[in-house]
Structure 1
Amino acid sequence: MATAPFSPNQIMIRKLENIFVLTGEEKQALMELPIHTKEIKSNQDIVKVGDQPNQCCLMIEGFTCVNKVSIEGKRQIMALHVPGDIPDLQSLHLRVIDINIASISPCKLGFIQHKDLHQLCERYPRLVAAFWRETLVYASIFREWLLNIGQREAYSRIAHIICELMVRLKTVGLTEGNTFYMPTTQAEIADATGMTPVHVNRVFQALRADGLIITEKSRMTIPDWDKLQQAGEFDPLYLHLKNDGNA
């Protein structure tokens, strides 16, 4: 499982610090923010379209996905979320949720009451900008995924997603060199890339044959980061990290 070696509050701080400069006072306030933790199994709904939640969900361990389902029952995965992310941060200001968020591995989640977040932001106005920037980064990732699905070839689509996960997991301390935990199934990658599971399988075989990835169950190793970046047309600019995002 993707397990961050920090407390839930520290995970949130570490993630925000990758996109925003926090003062010592702001970090202390975030450390004191009440967070109720809960463990859930894989393939469980966290929020669904039409829900009106009174809390936000912080990823502590595991992976979740944002998805929507067509009237025919076809699922489109629009984003993957890793520890440190708050995938439903929009619910702080939008009354009704218009997406589904579901676990794709066993997860540990931290739930933060909206009222506590509102009080925090009233006391520390700069944190409004930090959370707003976090939301804008999610929007940037959505735009990149739209390009990935619409214009890149299958080989590049999957290479790009692997590169993105590598960088995002590294920012929260969840990589060992160029190895990380990637629990997604081929069916889930298919839903994220607009491909069939059979096609996804063939692309993974090609990536392994070309020496760009090594897979062992849920462990992903990248032997040549530069070549994988080139194959995926990956530029971390859209993640808006304080560093350059290079692995």
Structure 2
Amino acid sequence: MVRHFQYFTRLGQLEVDLLSALEKSPEKVAAGKLMWKEGDPSEEMAVLSKGWAFSSYTLEDGSRMILDIFLPGDVIGLREFSARTHQANVETVTECTLCRFPLRHLDDIFENSPRLTHTFFSIAATQQSMLVERMINLGRRSAQTRLSHFICEMRSRLSRTNPDLEKDFRLPLSQQMLADTMGLTPVHVSRVFTQLREKGLVYRDRHQVSIPDLDRLIGFADFDGSYLRM
């Protein structure tokens, strides 16, 4: 978490100590487990130290819409700080290590560190910006551009805490998860990956993604990472 926050601001010892206090009592959670579900009392947040997780909303017909993909260093539940109940399900993608903490622990940070307070609001704003981009993806981009944009976003976010990240990276999302994120069917997702491979833009081998020419993919996706505060 400290390394993730250092991307946004320079941290002093006070800030490091306050953030470290949120990562006490790490908990291992197996892949495919619910951390909390929609409608549960919103009494805690969590810091994701290792692994991938996602939040989703279940529609009336039982279908699922994935809202957020959480990566190591992310704070889960920040958007629900003032809500009485959780607005979405949160589930692990891979085996995760996370640290839960009561919402009241943020009060200590807000009282003692204006710098961290500003950073928490910046991170909340970034999470909101990602939702806006997801809305644009669903409403105005073609399936190929939609998936290309998502891959660019994932790579950019991973590079924050992995500065040596190359053009290849692991994307441990199933075809169904990608479909629920993109607003497509799993079959359509497979078809789009085939089309991107034929264009020489993206190669996928199970959960491994390879980008032959990053600049070309960014141009094709019309990707501007400014909404990620890159």
Q: How does the TM-score come out when normalised to structure 1?
A: 0.86
CA distance in 1, matches of 2:159, 2:24: 24
Q: Check whether the contact 2:193–2:204 (CA below 8 A) recurs between aligned residues.
A: no
Aligned to 1:105: 94
Structure 1 vs Structure 2 CA RMSD: 1.8
CA distance in 1, matches of 2:188, 2:9: 39
Alignment of 1:17-166 (within 5 A): 17-166=6-155
Where 2:98 maps in the other structure, the secondary structure is strand
What is the CA distance between 1:56 and its match in structure 2? 1.1
What is the CA distance between 1:32 and its match in structure 2? 4.2
Amino acid at match of 1:149: L
CA distance in 1, matches of 2:48, 2:176: 22
Amino acid at match of 1:166: R
Amino acid at match of 2:208: R
CA distance in 2, matches of 1:102, 1:32: 24
Matched, 1:207 2:196: yes
Alignment of 1:167-178 (within 5 A): 167-173=156-162, 176-178=165-167
> Any unmatched runs of 5+ in structure 1?
1-11, 242-247
Q: Check whether the contact 1:39–1:107 (CA below 8 A) recurs between aligned residues.
A: yes
The percentage of counterpart residues that share the same residue type is: 29
CA distance in 1, matches of 2:104, 2:185: 43
Q: How does the TM-score come out when normalised to structure 2?
A: 0.92
State the aligned residue count.
230
Q: Check whether the contact 2:179–2:189 (CA below 8 A) recurs between aligned residues.
A: yes
Deviations 1:31-85 (A, max 9, x none): 3445221122222211211111432111122211121011110101112111111
CA distance in 1, matches of 2:113, 2:90: 29
CA distance in 1, matches of 2:27, 2:40: 19
CA distance in 2, matches of 1:158, 1:18: 26
Matched, 1:226 2:226: no
CA distance in 2, matches of 1:174, 1:182: 17
Deviations 1:76-99 (A, max 9, x none): 111211111112113433222111
Where 1:36 maps in the other structure, the secondary structure is coil
CA distance in 1, matches of 2:51, 2:197: 24
Aligned to 1:240: 229
Amino acid at match of 1:160: H
Q: Check whether the contact 1:59–1:81 (CA below 8 A) recurs between aligned residues.
A: yes
Amino acid at match of 2:120: F
Q: Check whether the contact 1:155–1:231 (CA below 8 A) recurs between aligned residues.
A: no
Where 1:35 maps in the other structure, the secondary structure is coil
Q: Check whether the contact 1:166–1:175 (CA below 8 A) recurs between aligned residues.
A: no
Moved more, 22-31 or 60-69: 22-31
